[in-house]
Amino acid sequence: MHGLTVVIPAYNEGRRISATVLALKSVGGVDEVLVVDDGSTDDTAEIAQRSGARVIRLPSNVGKGGALNAACPLIKTDVVLFIDADLQDSARQALRLVEPVMSGLADLAIAAFPSGKGGHGWGLARRTAAWGIKLLTGRSVTSPLSGQRCIARRVLQDLLPLAPRFGTEAGMTVDALRKGYRVLEVEIDLEHCPPGRNWRGFLHRSRQFADICLALGHRCGRF
């Protein structure tokens, strides 16, 4: 396999996107960093572009799944790495996901947070996603909502369109496993900024939970 594109969906990440892009640009092997500005109301797009990324600007916020679907037709390399915009300096660690895909060991490699690390919520969305994936595929996963995912482009094309909004990761995992692709979780110590235990965090997780349920429910009808 040849070539690597890193795709970063970003919504109002002006404070963190530069560090994330620069961390990726500081290491070799990355052919392009593609930032999808998902209708941000801040300077995310301008900062990402100044930092060396190619930027796609969406006119309105369509959610994570929609942002990734918008980027997919523009990817020309054989391997794609999806990462979250808030990883900052730790983004370079996500590149550890590339080798298993490049070498043919895996079709989809997912970053798993070390035990005891992860979000600041109550875990309902994560447990629901893990339960749904187990029910639909028979496979247990430890980080079903990880946004750090490396995938062969030929496999990605077979999984399109990705599930909308926050259902993307759970839907992608179910679809990949059902189609017989090799899915590998790799423990990587990454730093990110999950929503806190406040009303904004509660609203975010409520939307996430709903999107996960929709993605899994949609796939229940495909048995």
Domains of the chain by start residue, with CATH: 4-220 (3.90.550.10)
The answer to whether the CB of 19 falls within 8 A of the CB of 120 is no
String of b and e for 100-121 (b: at least 16 CB within 10 Å)?
bbbeeebbbbbbbbeeeebbeb
The answer to whether the CB of 69 falls within 8 A of the CB of 89 is no
pTM: 0.89
Residue 208: predicted pLDDT: 86
Spacing of C-alpha 108 from chain mean position: 12
> How do residues 58-107 score in pLDDT, each as one tens digit?
999 999 999 999 999 999 999 999 999 999 999 999 999 999 999 999 99
Reduced to 3 states (helix: H, G, I; strand: E, B; else coil), residue 115 is: coil
Residue stretches of the chain with pLDDT short of 50: 120, 199, 202, 223
Residue 206: predicted pLDDT: 75
How far are the Cα atoms of 25, 99, 100, 208 from residue 108, in angstroms, in the given order? 23, 11, 8, 22
Residue 199: predicted pLDDT: 42
Angle between helices 199-220 and 124-137 (to 10 degrees): 10
Considering only CA atoms, which of 145, 143, 112, 141 is closest in space to residue 215? 145
